[in-house]
Amino acid sequence: MQDSGQNLVTPERAELIRKAMEVHRAKQTILADLKDEDRQKLVAIAIKKLLNEKPQK
């Protein structure tokens, strides 16, 4: 049994997390710059896409 979560974060994993957070921040910036109408359209498209997807086997 491990006594802390520190051992789970290898340098490679830490770099992957850092890059993922960088991408997340970039996407948030793009979304924040959208007009309300465009954001609503994007949400509607995403919901339609999610509802129309066939379940994976």
pLDDT (tens digit per residue) in 3-56: 555 568 899 999 999 999 999 999 999 989 999 999 999 999 999 999 997 766
Total domain count, the chain: 1
Residue 48 falls inside a structural domain? yes
Q: Which domain does 16 fall in, by range?
A: 8-52
Residue 2 lies inside a defined structural domain of this protein: no
How far is the C-alpha of 38 from the C-alpha of 40, rounded, in Å?
5
E strands present in 1-57: none
Query: Does residue 17 form part of some domain?
Result: yes
- Alpha carbon 24 to its chain centroid, in Å, reads 6
pLDDT value for 5: 58
pLDDT of residue 56: 64
Distance CA 50, CA 44 (A): 10
Amino acid (1-letter code) at residue 13: R
Q: pLDDT value at position 1?
A: 42
pTM of the model: 0.54
In a domain, 39, yes or no: yes
